[in-house]
Homo-oligomer: A and B are copies of this chain.
Amino acid sequence: MNKEAQLSTIRLLVENKGDACLICTFVNQYYLTGRLFKGYVYLPAEGETLFFVQREADLPDSQVHRIRKPEDIPGILKSLNYPLPKTLFLEAGQIPYNDFLRLETIFSPAKTGDATALLRRARMIKSAWEIEQIRISAGKHVEAYGEIPSLFRPGMRDIDFQIEIERLMRRHGSLGVFRTFGDMDIFMGSLLTGDNASAPSPYDFALGGAGMSPCLPVGCSGETIHEGNAVMIDFAGNFTAYLSDMTRVLAFGKLPSEVLRAHQLSIDMQARLEEEVREGVTCSSVWRWSLAMAEKAGFGGNFMGTRFRAKFVGHGIGLEINEPPVLTARSEDVFLENMVFAYEPKFVFEGVGAVGNENTFIVHSDGIERLTTFDETIGQLAI
């Protein structure tokens, strides 16, 4: 029942002087219970966690209380001799304004706090079980990527290749859907080639792509993969609820030498990361030296995009693809033991595509461990 997740959350709740936390988003429910259900998790600073459920749910009977609507909760709390919370934490960064107001009216707390921020902090440090889930995802991710080149046929459009990779990932156990924080749309991952690699997108992914329709402006645009193109494969490893993230590059024909040099720089940056990062290192330092290395090598204008440039070079990962910490100039986070994050220094070249790898790492006290162990060199597509 993810006792460890509940305890981490309660610890933060107490630190922030909250009396209770009421959770209704699926992602936080899953973190706290390992289940999704229609209803609410009630985490008091003192006393047992309670589940208020509106529909059949696989949860411990002794903690489950059936409700028809959230308005039923205070009466049940009273009957159990739980005091109504004076300071109630609600998921202010996730649930719609209307839902927040409804819950606030029901509980009339003297004060509310932000359970979204609280849970994102708690979820940033992974438990042994969570790390094991990410290891499973990364293992299958590596297995699947090995089969990608065999799916390519000359003359394919980017979307044709993407569809075959989607099927491959699904056959290896990808759950299909993966979760993002905020209003983001993406379908399994993105494949970028040619000029489409530089097309900006409204979403906060590292790179964009025009997409197949103005209603989904990300990823493949339907361009044919031409000789001399780099093909960047960036799919989520959603083989468990916990994600791995990995990008690799394939070449169709020969790539220009400066493009190969930029890819080697990305490999060198990954190596430097493995040397430098350990508990206590700041996330902003990684952004700074990454940008400096790109500029020094003459790739400042290619780093993290051309027409639009992402301002981060990595991000935490777990139940969602975009968790804290963010590896960006203004980050105030430091790396801590059992954080899991992705590092993705990428370079875009007009007419060619994007190069650079992305790997998923666990932070240990004395260094980091790479989970996405797939070969980092550019793979070759058969002509």
Please give the residue numbers on chain A whose beta carbons come within 8 Å of chain B beta carbons, in ascending order: 25-26, 30, 34-39, 55-58, 90-101, 114, 116, 163-164, 166-167, 170-171, 173, 175-177, 179, 183, 185-188, 200, 202, 212-217, 240-241, 307-308, 319
Q: Which residue from B35, B114, B186 sits with its C-beta under 8 Å from A98?
A: B114
Closest residue on chain B to residue A103 by CB atoms:
B97
CB closest residue in chain B, given A39: B202
Cα A134 to Cα B365 in complex, Å, equals 55
A365 to chain B, nearest CB (A): 29
Q: Are B92 and A93 in contact (CB under 8 A)?
A: no
Give the interface centre of A100, A101, A202 by most chain B CB atoms within 10 Å.
A202
Copies in the complex: 2
Contact A187 B175, beta carbon cutoff 8 Å: yes
Q: How far is the CB of A184 from chain B (nearest CB, A)?
A: 9
A215 contacts B92, CB within 8 Å?
no
List residues of chain B with CB within 8 A of the CB of A179: 185
Of the residues B25, B34, B183, contact of A214 by C-beta under 8 Å: B34
Known A-B contacts A56-B308, A57-B202, A175-B187; the reply to A214 vs B95 at CB < 8 A is no
Bound-complex Cα distance A164 to B114 (A): 43
- Asked whether A95 lies within 8 Å of B96 as measured between CB atoms, the reply is yes
Q: How many angstroms between the C-alpha atoms of A57 and B26 in the bound complex?
A: 32
**Chain B contacts for A187, CB-based, 8 A:** 175-177
Q: Complex Cα distance A319/B114, Å?
A: 31
Say whether, besides A213-B241, A214-B34, A167 and B175 are in contact (CB < 8 Å). no
CB pair B183 A26 closer than 8 Å: yes
- A36-B217, A92-B97, A97-B97 known; 15 other A-B pairs, CB under 8 Å? A26-B183, A30-B215, A35-B214, A36-B202, A93-B97, A96-B116, A98-B116, A163-B167, A163-B171, A166-B167, A166-B170, A179-B185, A213-B240, A215-B241, A216-B241
What residues of chain B lie closer than 8 Å to A215, measured between beta carbons?
Answer: 30, 36, 175, 240-241, 319
Of residues A36, A38, A92, A214, which shows the largest number of chain B Cβ atoms within 10 Å of its Cβ? A36
Could you tell me the distance between the alpha carbons of A36 and B208 in the complex, rounded to whole angstroms?
13
> Can you pick out 17 interface pairs between chain A and chain B where the beta carbons lie within 8 Å of each other?
A36-B202, A36-B215, A55-B202, A57-B202, A91-B96, A92-B97, A92-B98, A95-B96, A96-B116, A163-B167, A163-B170, A164-B167, A166-B166, A175-B212, A177-B185, A177-B186, A215-B240
